[in-house]
Structure 1
């Protein structure tokens, strides 16, 4: 059945970034199936996310967008900030800086229900204040309220907890919210398992694992060009933070290969490309390891332009420091686009985590520990000599069209049980 859905998503086009696409691509494909959407979202003037208007046209026929404005809290906690400024933001704002916005969005949603009819509400989190919003709306509205967790909450390795008390309070807020939410979706199976283990009465049967993915239509006009040299061009798309996904292990391996290459691999070298933003000085790190001419920084690019650059690569890489206790709980949305391009993926990640399971189950690359630089060296040296033979299995399971269908199936499941 087709219906009308009210969505609360702080990040929404024209804001860019991978987190925006999960909801916008769902609207695109559910809209083609007859659904109509009203989206309550943040004021773009208060967002630190770069704009990317490329997704607006494909969803415009299916939704109306209602920005909600509040006075901005200037914490300098964006990705261009240092770890310290992000730490300060986490110290003073639990669970995050969007609590005030979530309260105003709640007023807007209640007003919309007084004016019109909707079949369900879908809440996209993070910000985690919106998960709290979902819990409040679950008690107030006569229709199913569905929480879509794009990332883990207290177990998110990117989320900073300045003290044990902050972690305790953040988790208490998380458990309280989830207890009061009947229907939920998670991009990560480990989050659902965590809730089942730790929250008494958690209704796993009314939650679904629906991962992130890629939109095949985005790849229709990206070309087929490649680099005309003898190098191995390796790409990473996304944000480099000051912890967890630092590229230093790769740079160490590249420096070691440069030393070996003087004798064993003449004329061949690795070129690393970064498309995105960084809270670290990647260029200075490159200079530290003598890689001035082997690190290319493209900066933030609109989604289609990013795909064009990625398509020129010979391989891809991403990082998760396995010394961080929660690093097994995440993947990164761009990885699914690596799968679509069907080029080898070097996953420098925990060997028992969500990311490793994805790479191994799709036969799309090699998994090595973040701290095993010699394993990175061996893998890259092999790839310099010959491209690995990979099967790239079950990639179609991660198309946005397929995943949107699963989300619609779950919404209909919820409607049957309201």
Structure 2
């Protein structure tokens, strides 16, 4: 059985989508004759936790832990709430306080590539010895945080180990990168470091086709796409919500505010008393003030049912009891490559997806191919309104459902099989 060392920042009890990708890979790798060894921080400052993920860590897996210096912990002395929001990726360009502007400037210009950079040197020292003593010839780093790729690059240089770099998100083209108030020299450092990592790795893995195209313009390193996916869960039969529930599970940040959808819902409420009585907007997770204010401005506050972060198991149940699942992405070229992890769970829930995002969005392509919902750009107002009304009429007839095609290739087990073939080549 081939050994592989996986270097990741997010690991149970971390919550959110960042932890799930490699937790699920580790869960299935031994079925494909790969023995995963996981290296994680001993004292991480996770922005959110979900202890239910601890039950999914396979027994017998070797997990190595070393201390990490967390600057976010120090920054919280000035503003714990704002520090937590920034570490979650909740960066609003509106009404920023002086402290928030300062923290973003420091984050972007002093911590390159990110605030976990101080874990690189001690990790290389520890892991270099561990690799030699345990006959490990392949390592995998996953980012963000992209500083973990620097660990892989240095270990490759010092030991000759084969290095696979997994990018769950892009680096310099990710949407929030522009919000970090970078100086020209800092922006150049980010790009130079990105290029260096992309060219040095033996193999790159990305989660979207657009990111693959972007990276191919920078490097000749082999690149493969392994999207996120879904685990097969077995639930007792659950009844759908009696209301016409439009649910969004996960963060809705200020840039990801579907104003056009709120306007369409407000119009339909005015045009139909039954629609007004049946409508329920369910938002679960971190919701920005801009989203809440937009709902209020459109007279939808009484239709809003808001929950803070819930355990993953509860999120899965909410998906299956909702009438419609909303998938929202920022309307920009930089977000064409973003395929939210929740998309695959939405597809597995077999509830209609209503997706709003940028033109040529990778996620929209998957939704169309799997016949799991309808997708719209931000300028498709009338088409969006017609689709919501069509969904509503089907709901009233108790006929609102989808008929998915080809979901099997997105199961976590099938994706892990793909990963195992890459590992065996390196």
* Common fold: TM-score over 0.5: yes
Q: 1:242 aligns with which of 236, 254, 271?
A: 254
Q: 2:209 aligns with which of 189, 210, 235?
A: 189
Deviations along 1:314-350, one digit per CA (max 9) or x if unpaired, are: 111111232x221211111001101111111111012
Question: Taking structure 2 as the reference length, what is the TM-score of the superposition?
Answer: 0.87
Q: 2:162 aligns with which of 124, 135, 144?
A: 144
What's 1:112 paired with?
130
Aligned residue pair count? 400
What aligned pairs does 1:12-91 form with structure 2 within 5 A after superposition?
A: 12-48=11-47, 50-74=48-72, 75=75, 76=83, 77-79=86-88, 82-83=91-92, 84=96, 85=100, 87-88=104-105, 89-91=107-109
What's 2:226 paired with?
210
Residues 355 and 266 (structure 1 numbering): CA distance in 2 closer, same or farther, change over 3 Å? closer
Contact persistence 2:6–2:141 (CA under 8 A): yes
Q: State the SS of the aligned residue for 2:302.
A: helix
What's 1:339 paired with?
347
Contact persistence 1:235–1:273 (CA under 8 A): yes
Deviations along 1:331-371, one digit per CA (max 9) or x if unpaired, are: 11001101111111111012312111111111211111124
Alpha-carbon offset, residue 306 of structure 1: 0.8
Unmatched 5+ stretches in structure 2: 76-82
What's 1:251 paired with?
262
Q: State the SS of the aligned residue for 2:317.
A: helix
Deviations along 1:57-99, one digit per CA (max 9) or x if unpaired, are: 3323142222322332124122385524374323442221111
What's 2:5 paired with?
6
* Aligned residues: CA RMSD: 2.3
1:276 aligns with 2:285: yes
Q: State the SS of the aligned residue for 1:111.
A: helix
Q: State the SS of the aligned residue for 1:208.
A: strand
Alpha-carbon offset, residue 281 of structure 1: 5.6
Question: Taking structure 1 as the reference length, what is the TM-score of the superposition?
Answer: 0.88
Q: State the SS of the aligned residue for 1:169.
A: helix
Q: State the SS of the aligned residue for 2:64.
A: strand
Quote the Cα distance in structure 2 between the aligned partners of 1:266 and 1:327: 32
What's 1:294 paired with?
303
User: Following superposition, which runs of at least 4 residues in structure 1 exceed 4 angstroms of deviation?
Assistant: 265-268, 387-390
Quote the Cα distance in structure 1 between the aligned partners of 2:114 and 2:280: 38
Residues 303 and 256 (structure 1 numbering): CA distance in 2 closer, same or farther, change over 3 Å? same
Residues 183 and 136 (structure 1 numbering): CA distance in 2 closer, same or farther, change over 3 Å? same
Deviations along 1:243-281, one digit per CA (max 9) or x if unpaired, are: 2x224332222212111114xx46653312122223436
1:162 aligns with 2:181: yes
